[in-house]
């Protein structure tokens, strides 16, 4: 069973982290988490009145149509309609973050898509640029529909694409399987925007500056990052943790199987070391 307090606390913690890392500000932003058919969502004026130091019992719980289960309807975040529109159209989404990351907003204010140039951005979000939706009134049904259209276009290009878009002059919306992933999408995208801004400041007009990406990693290569890897070849001879000469046989730590004799041998060595 999901612990209600954990969901609420996670929203409070991520909200403060967004604020402290300047990924949102006191003028807005909102966070929600889906748990089955229930939506947990931050209250309105979380930034303005609380600078995102909000309490767990302020988090409101509703159904998928915004009918309150815990909390008052008038306290639900003003941009909730976009959150619910995303959940209703993407059953795989477990969390939504609307933020005001200033570096991405600089691109949105110029109606420029944000190219995925940093390795971290490409590994997390893929090669697609982060595109702007058309300008829409914040919190309106029109905005929610534009965000959903943007996300559907990303999924047409890549059915597994992480979901994030830019709102001109306004901020970003990101949606992921859980709150950690959704925060990650927001942060790495803003880091990418920082890189582009900084390199323009540092190297604009410098003919020696090479801005090209020399190698585009495949999905398979990116997936291999998480695989457990050998650090030396089988047969490598080295001095072990207890001073004995050891030959590496290729075992990974995840392949370890309980060996009573080995445990007794190690225990005996440890006792001898302690007695010295």
Domains of the chain: 4-203 (3.40.225.10), 237-275 (no CATH)
What's the pLDDT at 217? Answer: 77
What's the pLDDT at 3? Answer: 60
Instruction: Check if the beta carbon of residue 225 is closer than 8 Å to that of residue 123.
Output: yes
Measure the CA dihedral 71/76/80/85, to 10°.
30
Q: How far is CA 26 from CA 50, 51, 74, 100, 139, in A?
A: 8, 5, 20, 9, 17
What's the pLDDT at 48? Answer: 85
Q: How far is CA 78 from CA 30, 36, 73, 100, in A?
A: 9, 23, 10, 15
What's the pLDDT at 1? Answer: 40
Q: Residue 22's CB: how many other CB atoms inside 10 A?
A: 13
Whole-structure pTM value: 0.83
What's the pLDDT at 204? Answer: 87
What's the pLDDT at 252? Answer: 55
What's the pLDDT at 10? Answer: 95
Q: What is the DSSP string of 68-79?
A: EEES-GGGB-TT
State how far the Cα of 149 lies from the Cα of 207, in Å rounded to an integer: 40
Ordered mean pLDDT values, 10 residues apiece, the chain (276 residues): 75 95 92 96 87 91 93 89 96 97 94 91 92 92 96 96 96 96 96 95 87 77 77 82 80 54 68 68
Tens digit of each residue's pLDDT (9 = 90 or more) over 190-226: 999 999 999 999 998 888 888 788 777 777 777 787 7
State how far the Cα of 24 lies from the Cα of 16, in Å rounded to an integer: 9
What's the pLDDT at 276? Answer: 63
């Amino acid at each position: 069973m999901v612990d209600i307090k954990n969901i609420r606390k996670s929203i409070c913690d991520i909200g403060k982290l967004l604020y402290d890392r300047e990924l949102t500000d006191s003028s807005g932003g909102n966070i929600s988490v889906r748990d089955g058919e229930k939506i947990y969502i931050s209250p309105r004026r979380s930034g303005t009145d609380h600078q995102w130091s909000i309490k767990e019992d302020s988090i409101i719980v509703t159904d998928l149509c915004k009918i309150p289960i815990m909390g008052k309807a008038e306290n639900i975040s003003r941009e909730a309609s976009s959150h619910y529109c995303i959940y209703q159209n993407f059953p795989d989404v477990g969390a939504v973050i609307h933020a005001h990351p200033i570096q991405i907003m600089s691109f949105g204010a110029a109606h420029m898509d944000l190219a995925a140039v940093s390795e971290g951005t490409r590994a997390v979000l893929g090669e697609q640029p982060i595109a702007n939706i058309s300008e829409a009134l914040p919190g309106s049904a029109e905005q929610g529909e534009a965000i959903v259209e943007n996300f559907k276009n990303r999924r047409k290009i890549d059915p597994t694409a992480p979901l994030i878009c830019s709102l001109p002059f306004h901020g970003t919306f990101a949606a992921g399987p859980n709150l950690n992933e959704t925060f990650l999408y927001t942060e790495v995208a803003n880091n990418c925007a920082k890189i582009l801004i900084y390199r323009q400041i540092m190297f604009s007009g410098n003919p020696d500056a090479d801005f090209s990406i020399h190698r585009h990693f495949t999905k398979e290569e990116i997936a291999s990052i998480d695989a457990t890897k050998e650090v030396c070849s089988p047969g490598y001879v080295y001095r072990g943790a207890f001073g004995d000469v050891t030959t590496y046989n290729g075992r990974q730590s995840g392949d370890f199987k309980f060996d009573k004799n080995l445990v007794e041998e190690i225990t005996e060595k440890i006792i001898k070391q302690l007695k010295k």
